[in-house]
A and B are shown apart, each in its own frame.
Chain A
Amino acid sequence: MAAAVGMGQQWVLVEMVQAFYEAPAYHLILEGILILWIIRLLFSKTYKLQERSDLTPKEKEELIEEWQPEALVPPVSKDHPALNYSIVSGPPSHKIIVNGKECINFASFNFLGLLDNERVKNAAQASLRKYGVGTCGPRGFYGTFDVHLELEDRLAKFMRTEESIIYSYGFATIASAIPAYSKRGDIVFVDEAACFAIQKGLQASRSNIKLFKHNDTADLEQLLKEQEIEDQKNPRKACVTRRFILVEGLYMNTGDICPLPELIKLKYKYKVRIFLEESLSFGVLGEHGRGVTEHFGINVDDIDLISANMENSLASIGGFCCGRSFVIDHQRLSGQGYCFSASLPPLLAAAAIEALNIMEENPDIFQILREKCKRIHKALQRIPGLIVVGDLFSPALHLQLEEPSGSRENDMKLLKRIVDYCMNRSIALTPARYLEKEEKCLPPPR
């Protein structure tokens, strides 16, 4: 039979049968056994290693009886520093009543003092009378009100960008914006001192995260060069991997400004996009309060996405992202905190619009804020034992112990005593709260 195949001739049935008769007996027997073996293998069950260790139902019962889970939550000791909150009665504005005592408020982020402003409150009242409180639906399902559209319009005009999009919670803003653009396989270069919301956004996006030292453009350039070398090894993958630099305008954890002009140069040199998080710097930096782009005189179109929350300077609730329509429009279908959550209550949107009006009409309040920040900064420098962490004109400052004792708990206790002492003298301060186990780079106690 092998000879017949070798000849490559067409099979004729008669020739086949002839060959069959002429073949030696042992050959036929061998072939027959092989065919039978193949048939048996085809029809027998596959041999799984796990079959051996499958448990009988009785064994499973025993295991279920024995298994003891951990408690749902570990017990919290009664004197945990964060358990007993200070209770604020009345409006949390510049004069605040904490635990029954009236203090000057140095602990809230009410930078422009708009929380107690009559005009803002009246605008909110008018909106309350017209729309009620809640919106009863997400933006896609009749939750879009004309105040939302107006606020988006006003914010875009104020920041001189094409479009803006509003979220109903400040934390959710950046935490939904990042995963909308950066997916698994993309690379994000982020500063070490990034705030927790950014960290959660990065975790949700499942991208590769590369941390660079705080405000150190040399370190960032080093990382970018390394990435370039990686890219040259695999150019096909490189042309679909998106790259982002994520920085904050004014860092919450350290109170200093990012070096934006150098970052823009790096952007064009290495072709990465920049996302800027301006929660603290919106309404604070720049001549008209437009944030760190105005402060440095940079064209706002150079930044791909600016995200900020309205809970600090605008004394409302919520957040927004602004930028070019090309970038922002994508979030309307893929920003999770936008599509799957109820929209911002209209009274808060109306309050934000009025606050924007006030900001536009009085551009000198930013100068006043800067002066005051400078005064406080200078005055605090003279306190022995505490160092001031933060830039000269940053409205959020941290006071850190000059010589930490090495034990975080002891330091926190000492800080708490300082805070209590200040409260007794009618000054409201607060220890900065961090989730110790979850932060990537835990700042020292302050």
Chain B
Amino acid sequence: HFEQAPMYVAVLTYLSFGVGTIFGYLRDFMRACGLEKCNLAAEREEQKDFVPLYQDFENFYTRNLYMRIRDNWNRPICSVPGPQFDLMERVTDDFNWTFRFTGRTIKDVINMGSYNYLGFAETEANALKTVADVLQNYGTGVCSTRQEMGNLDKHIELENLVARFLDVEAAMVFGMGFATNSMNIPSLVGKGCLILSDELNHTSLVLGARLSGATIRIFKHNNMQSLEKLLTDAIAYGQPRSRRAWKKILILVEGIYSMEGSIVRLPEIVALKKRYKAYLYLDEAHSIGAVGPTGRGVVEYFGMNPEDVDVLMGTFTKSFGAAGGYIAGKKELVDFLRTHSHSAIYATSMCPPVAEQIIRSMKCVMGLDGTTQGLQRVHQLGENTRYFRRRLHEMGFIVYGNDDSPVVPLLLYMPGKIGAFARCMLTKNIGVVVVGFPATPIAESRARFCVSAAHTREMLDTVLNALDELGDFLQLKYSRHSRSSRPELYDETSFELED
């Protein structure tokens, strides 16, 4: 699934970074001499003799390379982030150092950037009626932690629903998805334990692993041989200096990786984990609601038993149009987290209207509200994903990831094309997300599309036509395996000779 680009592309990419760096040094020099105006904020006069807060070389990349294409990120919007949204028009007079709003809005831009997989980011009054009621009844905040006075009946209702949805014994919800990882992994593992984490894990998983104090070893992305070797060596040789046995081994993986679009190889990992008696922590931030025949995530996608995964974690931000995270699993696990999780003791609980939004969207997906709307959304997402990916392959772009994942990264490689791509798409009224270093490897910048169930076929076609044009204009069609759009021509088993 990860096609390599032709060699000349890699060479040109590194060359462009080289040129950018040289110009960066030149500009820094000119700024230091005073030949060029320095637009950066400066330290206070009274504190000029303090130790400098930032080292110059730490910010080199930010100052010189990121600043040139900064207008493609942090674009403010002023409507609901549905399949189409309104952007606030923003111009810069000094090459991206400062921005100014003109006051106009760019209306009905097709949204290929927000994580709105099942289309629950909507403002239809009927759909949001229960949320509005809860808001009126309960207010906006909670002002207390879970263990003290912040445990509302809404939270209990939500937790029972999540446990039912995932078909596990119990679940616990937290106010923020990022914090769910960084506050619960330290309570599950500590010193003397081993964490085996995938190369491309999200920052929250890495932070949680670091805060726990356990030893961390990294295996290559989705590579089962690498993982098996690490497991064998870990159990055979024990802890590094003392050779004592590890207390426990925890494997951290994600359901869908947000920058690659690849789906984890769950059956193989579960087989490995059973053989080596390790524990599995699955972060389904992007995959819950988005894959699987009824939207239950990667566990259902592979047809596996949810009890095989020890800790099921996920967030409600992406598919359910709300905020927050959950951890689900056996009752002992959830009881332990209720008493020992950092979040339950020190952090505020989820606010009631957000909890109600999750309840109503989850009921919709499960079909408990009496309609088949939820199932329709899941199917629509699957269809949209497959159509979009198929057409991109046919056009000849290099696209990473599994064919069923709604996260579609399209490789751009060269830093100059990052800015050009995003700006040209905006002129065509399409909003895309581009990512470069440091979120991706330096030579593999990409544009990432998030397909949504709310996108209609016409919207997808508009986007695909624009991509086609832009691909030719910017020469982005690097793939050497482009599939023809007429596969039936290759299937000829009988050739009729003309007489």
Which residues of A are interface residues toward B (Cβ below 8 A)? 55, 59-60, 63-64, 67-70, 72-76, 80, 82-83, 85-93, 96, 98, 105, 107-110, 115-117, 120-121, 124-125, 128-137, 139-146, 148-149, 168-172, 175, 181, 195-197, 200, 203-204, 238-243, 268, 271-273, 301, 309, 311-312, 314-317, 324-327, 329-330, 332-333, 336-337, 340-342, 344-345, 347-348, 351, 428, 430, 432-435, 438
Contacts and interface: CB of A to CB of B under 8 A. Distances in A.
Contacts of A109: 143-144
Interface stretch (B123-131, B263-271, B362-370, B478-486): B123-131
15 contacts: A108-B143, A121-B135, A129-B125, A132-B128, A133-B321, A134-B357, A135-B323, A140-B73, A141-B433, A142-B431, A197-B347, A200-B183, A301-B44, A430-B149, A435-B342
Given A70-B248, A340-B203, A341-B204, A107 B148 contact: yes
Nearest to A345: B323
Contacts of A200: 182-183, 211, 342
B249 interface: yes
Contacts of A239: 51
A271 B140 contact: no
B323 A342 contact: yes
A149 B76 contact: yes
Interface residues on B, range: 35 or more
Give me the 4 closest cross-chain CB pairs, A-B, nearest first.
Answer: A341-B178, A169-B176, A73-B336, A85-B151
Interface in B339-358: 339-340, 342-348, 351, 353-354, 357
Interface string B50-93: 11111100000010001000000111111111100100100000
B9 interface: no
A211 B213 CA distance: 20
Contact of B322 (A70, A133, A434): A133
Contacts of B248: 69-70, 72
A139 B176 CA distance: 15
* Residue with the highest number of chain B CB atoms closer than 10 Å, among A55, A70, A134, A170: A134
Interface string B158-182: 0000000000000000011111001
A345 B235 contact: no
B288 to A, nearest CB: 14
B140 A137 contact: no
Contacts of A60: 232, 235-236
A342 B177 contact: yes
Contacts of A141: 73, 113-114, 433
B111 A142 contact: yes
Contact of B321 (A136, A148, A325, A432): A136
Contacts of A125: 132, 135-136
A271 B51 contact: yes
A130 B79 contact: yes
B335 interface: yes
Interface of A is mostly: loop
Contacts of A89: 152-153
B303 interface: no
A140 to B, nearest CB: 5
Nearest to A132: B80
Nearest to B144: A108
Given A87-B151, A175-B182, 20 more contacts: A73-B188, A90-B137, A93-B139, A108-B150, A131-B81, A142-B433, A144-B76, A145-B76, A148-B76, A149-B76, A170-B347, A171-B176, A271-B51, A312-B143, A317-B141, A324-B44, A336-B203, A430-B144, A433-B147, A433-B346
B322 A124 contact: no
A431 B75 CA distance: 45
B77 A88 contact: no
Nearest to B138: A91
Given A91-B138, A311-B142, A96 B353 contact: no
B145 A433 contact: yes
Contacts of B14: none
Contact of A139 (B74, B85, B148): B74
Contact of B123 (A76, A132, A317, A351): A132
A136 B116 contact: yes
Interface string B450-466: 00000000000000000
A273 B48 CA distance: 12
Given A136-B318, A340-B178, A435-B340, A242 B51 contact: yes
Given A63-B235, A169-B347, A311 B143 contact: yes
Interface in B208-258: 210-211, 232, 235-237, 245-249
